[in-house]
Structure 1
Amino acid sequence: MKIKLIGIICIVLIALVISCQSDEQVEFNRYFSAGSAVYQEHCQNCHGAKGEGLQGLIPSLTDSAYLKSNKYQLACFVKNGLKGQIKISGRQFEGEMPPNDLSPVEIAQVLTYVTNSFGNRSATITTELANADLAKCN
């Protein structure tokens, strides 16, 4: 009987801890999980399931300083594509990433996923942040 009572108390405590997530954590989880689905549908074919890219043809998204140093342009890259030569992790890439017909919320979701996956750690990229960055696209 005591073991059942202790088990029930443990389950209740775990449920309380899980339900005490901050609003920011709930928002992050929402963007991240939706971004995973967007990534799988629109990005994974080229950048790989683990963000590993394709050898010398398509850059990796893993723990990239490039993502951090270009964080305000990432939404533009996703929306409008990227052409020309870029240097990522000391390697040169030249080619074209085609534009995507994603909504601002989908762009925010996929960027939250990418910048928090594959060894990357960042904050939530909200729709408001993505819209602000998109407004500055050339």
Structure 2
Amino acid sequence: MSRATGTRLQRGLLLAATATVAAGSLSGCFTERQNEGAKLYATHCASCHGDQGQGLQRLIPPVAASDYVAQRRADLPCLIRKGMKGPLVVNGIGYNQVMPGHEDLTDSQITNLLNFLQTNWGNRNQTYTIREVSDLLGRCNGSDGQ
């Protein structure tokens, strides 16, 4: 094998190794965030809305198969950030409890949480982008730009 061929081979192997390491690093980043929405739901929402989004009888509304989740898309980011007080109707049933806000969540975390809700437990709704959530949070002065 000529010296030039050997050098090209070494460069090719180096590039392949670098690409493999980079792909492994990227997949690690995405893997850690892959289930973030489910984890955030378990931490911040499940104690009230139930571990399967079923709600609590006529006290706390369900988020599973929820017409409210489907129809109030533009309101959901601010509802999570700021909370809610007052009556609402979900799947034809009236509720009137206080929902605490989650000021501690970043825009990105709210996006992941909402996307989890939009695509689980019978909800088959369009997912959000971070930009969309940040813009919607701007309506309630709730965007942190993260």
After TM superposition, the score normalised by the length of structure 1 is: 0.74
| Corresponding position of 1:131 | 134
- Cα deviation for residue 32 of structure 1 reads 5.9
Q: Which residue of 2 aligns with 1:114?
A: 117
Aligned to 1:22: none
Q: Is the 8 A contact 1:32 1:112 kept in 2?
A: no
Shift of 1:122: 1.9
Consecutive unaligned residues of structure 1, counting only runs of 5 or more, are 1-26
> Higher strand fraction: Structure 1 or Structure 2?
1
CA distance in 2, matches of 1:123, 1:111: 10
Compared with structure 1, are the counterparts of its residues 30 and 86 closer, same or farther at alpha carbon in structure 2 (3 Å cutoff)? farther
Distance in 2 of aligned mates of 1:108 and 1:129: 9
Q: Does 1:45 align with 2:47?
A: yes
Identity %: 32
Kindly report structure 1 stretches of 4+ aligned residues shifted beyond 3 Å. 29-32
- Aligned amino acid, residue 51 of structure 1: G
The Cα shift of 1:123 comes to: 2.7
Of residues 64, 82, 85, the one that matches 2:84 is 82
Q: TM-score, normalised by structure 2?
A: 0.71
> Partners in 1 of 2:50 and 2:42 — Cα distance?
9
Larger Rg: 2
- Once the two structures are superposed, what CA deviation does each residue of 1:7-58 show, in whole Å capped at 9, x if it has no partner? xxxxxxxxxxxxxxxxxxxx8x986621011111111111111100111110
